[in-house]
Amino acid sequence: MRTVQFTEYGPASVVHVAEVEEPHAGPNEIRVAARASGISPGETALRAGRLRDMVPLAFPYRTGFDAAGVVDEVGEGVTGVNVGDEVFGMTSMTRRGANADFVILSAWAPKPAAWTWQEAGGAAGGVETATRVLDRLAVGTGHTVLVQGAAGGVGTLAVQLAAARGATVIGTASEHNHDFLRSLGAEPTTYGTGLVERVRALAPDGVDAVFDCAGGALPDLVAIAGDPARVVTIVPDPAAAALGVHLSHSAPDDKTGEAVGAPADPMAVHGLAVAVALADEGRLRVPVAAAFPLTEAAAAHELSESRHARGKIVLVNQDSI
């Protein structure tokens, strides 16, 4: 089968498609014939070598964490899903390899009928991450939440999931994305110089929680929250620990957690079922910035690194819709 991988650190051009043996579902796993899968900004940083001191890689490194497809193998101990079912979900953190023809999922949920394959293929990782951080921040009814980097793959889902919990959401993005953020349920503002003052004008009674999806502004985000314990980032930043800001990640080993300065948080796979319910009610969509054929994974990485993508970047398989 085809899989996307890289065998050295470098620019997007080191990403390529390789032929490898098909994986098979083990206990408590399922295999899907993939229709679409997501590109992770974190993996583009890993590929570029920007995190090599914190997260050294073993090569070849097979990319992709979330995918959607049709179940074609069901592992021992799995119930509630059958061959032929349409699902979306995530690989294990140790396996990855979701950008491929066949993908082993360790967590999954039924594909919402309202979502295209492209939307479903890019959903699971962002849903899990957003749910994990919103849970840690205990976001609920009546809270005001700032999402820094609200127009990206995780940010767009965080906005909608926070709003579904009853929170008021402020989101930062470039001005040309402001109407887009309003359509998702956020009050938009621009990032950069003057952010503290702009957010205070929008939320004169203060902000209860800050979810940083973009990085680069932690001192301002702490000032907005008034307490570093009310700020969570998903972007590795040496300033986080110094400022007392929690870096949320789900890396599978203690060594990685020590390197990035924070232990792993429990994965929020329960968020997948919540996402299905909201999607069925028309309250959660997965904005897709661009879709590339599996064979053009390098171009997808290049777009991801541009930081101009609005929503999720996905790869589609030949028989995808």
- DSSP assignment of 106-152 equals SEEEEPPTTS-HHHHHTTHHHHHHHHHHHHHTT--TT-EEEEETTTB
Q: What is the mean pLDDT of residues 97-102?
A: 98
Whether residues 113 and 151 share a domain: the answer is no
Higher pLDDT, 89 or 320: 89
Proportion of the chain above pLDDT 70, given as a percent: 96
**pLDDT band at 238, cuts 50/70/90?**
confident
Whether residues 214 and 162 share a domain: the answer is yes
Helix (H) or strand (E) holding 232: strand 231-233
Residues 43-95 pLDDT 10s: 999 999 988 887 889 999 999 999 999 999 999 999 999 999 999 999 998 88
Whether residues 220 and 149 share a domain: the answer is yes
pLDDT at 321: 45
Boundaries of domain holding 235: 127-260
pLDDT at 145: 98
C-alpha to C-alpha distance for 69 and 33, rounded to whole angstroms: 5
What is the total count of domains within the chain? 2
Inside any domain, residue 281: no
Inside any domain, residue 201: yes
Residues 212-231 pLDDT 10s: 999 999 999 999 999 999 99
Whether residues 55 and 140 share a domain: the answer is no
Q: What is the mean pLDDT of residues 7-22?
A: 97
Whether residues 117 and 133 share a domain: the answer is no
Inside any domain, residue 267: no
- Residue 320: is its pLDDT beyond 70? no
Q: What is the mean pLDDT of residues 235-259?
A: 78
Whether residues 139 and 168 share a domain: the answer is yes
Inside any domain, residue 312: yes
pLDDT at 23: 97
* Mean pLDDT, all residues of the chain: 94
> How is residue 313 annotated by DSSP?
E
Residues 147-195 pLDDT 10s: 999 999 999 999 999 999 999 999 999 999 999 999 999 999 999 999 9
Whether residues 119 and 134 share a domain: the answer is no
Residues 169-182 pLDDT 10s: 999 999 999 999 99
Residue 77 has a CB neighbour count (10 Å cut-off) of: 9
Q: What is the mean pLDDT of residues 293-311?
A: 92
Whether residues 254 and 134 share a domain: the answer is yes
